[in-house]
Amino acid sequence: MTRVCLLGEEETNLQYELLSRETARDALAAYEITEPFENALAVETVSLGAAVSLLNDLDWYLTRFVSDAFVRDPSISSEEWLSRALATAIRNDDVDPADSGRFLRVYGVETDDGEGETKPRLVEPMLVTRTGAEIPEYDLREVDRTVIVRLTESEFGA
């Protein structure tokens, strides 16, 4: 199963914004929605193509309410996510999946904000380039773990 994760803009309530609008609600109706991170929604799709199609169906809402959209396809990586642009490029055969792991956005994940908050939240992404098997350590702040999102070369350089 391919997973899609939508990260809401900081000033929005993503679940409300998507589910209060008929077209977005209809596009998501076939999926079981989970909230893996604070202000994020995730669904499971049957394939990379279905994930990209869902993102295309939600495009109007993504541009207004979503800061980032990720796709994780286990045939490419069981732990790293793909940006929407990279998922689309791989689906269209513009990028070979084996060549997709060099440019990365690494998010820190915090699970406790000091006030008893336990919902994981993504914080301060940093851009890194993988040059070997290891990636540079996340050093923007103390975090519990990281989430790695593979990017296209043009997203990395933008």
Give a three-class secondary structure readout of the chain.
CEEEEEEECCCCCHHHHHHCCHHHHHHHCCCCCECCCCCEEEEEECCHHHHHHHHHHCHHHHHHHEEEEEEECCCCCCCCEEEHHHHHHHHCCCCCHHHCCCEEEEEEEECCCCCCCCCCEEEEEEEEECCCCCCCCCCCCCCCEEEEEECCHHHHHC
Question: Does residue 64 have a pLDDT over 80?
Answer: yes
Q: What is the pLDDT of residue 82?
A: 98
Greater confidence, 16 or 132? 16
| Domains along the sequence of the chain with CATH | 2-95 (3.30.70), 103-157 (no CATH)
Q: pTM (2 decimals)?
A: 0.91
Question: Does residue 41 have a pLDDT over 60?
Answer: yes
